[in-house]
């Protein structure tokens, strides 16, 4: 069933009003008729089954049938922080980690990033956020992943302590046969995880040094060298595997 994300204030009693792009999608792309049903999710993670009861020139009016009890969100909130890479790679990562259940994404300007933070990044963020929304909808999530404004590495370092756990995917740990990841996840009882991934070419030596002075843990992702756009998918999959399929999952 088609699902749409709405602002909580679009719900008025048992009625829901949808405007803008979603209105266009329902009316002109999906060509839904009165009586057709859709799934509607609020930014707070509530979801409803609703029926189309009227169209105006700019709005579609729905009536809620019932609220749905779904647990499709990861029991932990995962933020992926990635060394800034080209737009196409960023979009690819945003699309996949939205599907895989991440809560937010931020590009961090690192030493080896070949792209820089620019004045007109706002437009990019809007586009990234749209991709995150579409991928979240397709994955049948009840929350949309947030795309944050890009950050300088030095500013980013100060953010780390806000998270209950920070994992740095470091290829040298992988080569050195580091197997700490499952142990770290098993011992973790917090709610927020920050994952740090280098840009193409990896972290600079001084960046790894700086990260090591924080609460961040350097972890390996196996003996093969993963590209910067593959490492986030590995970690998101591992986290889902651990929390959502794992036998020891207490959530």
Shorter beta-carbon distance to a copy of itself: residue 204 or 222:
222
Identify the sign of the CA torsion 100, 240, 102, 210.
negative
Shorter beta-carbon distance to a copy of itself: residue 55 or 188:
188
What minimum distance in Å lies between the beta carbon of 19 and a copy of itself?
26
Shorter beta-carbon distance to a copy of itself: residue 161 or 179:
179
Enumerate binding residues for a copy of itself (CB under 8 A): 70-72, 96, 99-101, 138-141, 179, 181-183, 220-227, 230, 233-235, 237-238, 240-242, 244-247, 249
Give yes or no for a contact between 209 and 168, defined as CB atoms under 8 angstroms apart.
no
Shorter beta-carbon distance to a copy of itself: residue 213 or 251:
251
What minimum distance in Å lies between the beta carbon of 181 and a copy of itself?
5
The angle subtended at Cα 33 by Cα 31 and Cα 39, nearest 5°, is: 85
- The region that residue 135 occupies, defined by phi over 0 for left and psi between -120 and 50 for alpha, beta otherwise, is alpha
Shorter beta-carbon distance to a copy of itself: residue 180 or 210:
180
Pairing outcome for strands 47-55 and 60-68:
antiparallel
What minimum distance in Å lies between the beta carbon of 119 and a copy of itself?
32
User: What are the E-state strand segments in the chain?
Assistant: 3-6, 11-12, 15-18, 37-42, 47-55, 60-68, 77-83, 104-109, 146-147, 151-152, 165-169, 192-197, 217-219
Shorter beta-carbon distance to a copy of itself: residue 151 or 219:
219
**235-to-47, 79, 90, 150, 213 alpha-carbon distances in Å:** 27, 11, 16, 21, 22
What minimum distance in Å lies between the beta carbon of 107 and a copy of itself?
21
What minimum distance in Å lies between the beta carbon of 224 and a copy of itself?
4
What minimum distance in Å lies between the beta carbon of 114 and a copy of itself?
17
Identify the sign of the CA torsion 224, 230, 234, 237.
negative
């Amino acid at each position: 069933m088609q699902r749409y994300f709405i602002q909580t204030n679009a719900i008025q009693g048992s009625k829901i009003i949808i405007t803008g792009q979603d209105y266009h999608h329902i009316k002109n792309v999906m060509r839904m008729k009165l009586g057709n049903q859709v799934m509607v999710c609020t930014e707070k993670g509530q979801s409803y089954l609703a029926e189309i009861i009227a169209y105006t020139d700019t709005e579609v009016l729905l009536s809620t049938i019932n609220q749905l009890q779904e647990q499709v969100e990861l029991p932990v909130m995962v933020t992926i922080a990635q060394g800034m890479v080209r737009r196409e790679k960023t979009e690819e990562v945003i699309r996949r980690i939205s599907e895989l259940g991440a809560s937010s994404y931020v590009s961090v300007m690192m030493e080896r990033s070949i792209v820089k933070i620019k004045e007109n990044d706002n437009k990019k963020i809007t586009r990234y956020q749209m991709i995150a929304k579409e991928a979240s909808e397709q994955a049948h999530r009840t929350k949309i992943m947030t795309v944050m404004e890009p950050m300088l590495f030095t500013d980013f370092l100060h953010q780390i302590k806000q998270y209950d756990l920070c994992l740095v995917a470091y290829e040298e740990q992988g080569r050195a046969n580091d197997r700490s990841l499952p142990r770290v996840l098993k011992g973790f009882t917090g709610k927020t995880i920050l994952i740090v991934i280098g840009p193409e070419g990896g972290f600079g030596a001084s960046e790894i040094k700086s990260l090591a002075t924080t609460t961040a843990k350097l972890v390996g992702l196996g003996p093969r060298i993963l590209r910067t756009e593959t490492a986030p998918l590995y970690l998101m999959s591992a986290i889902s595997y651990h929390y959502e399929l794992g036998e020891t999952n207490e959530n």
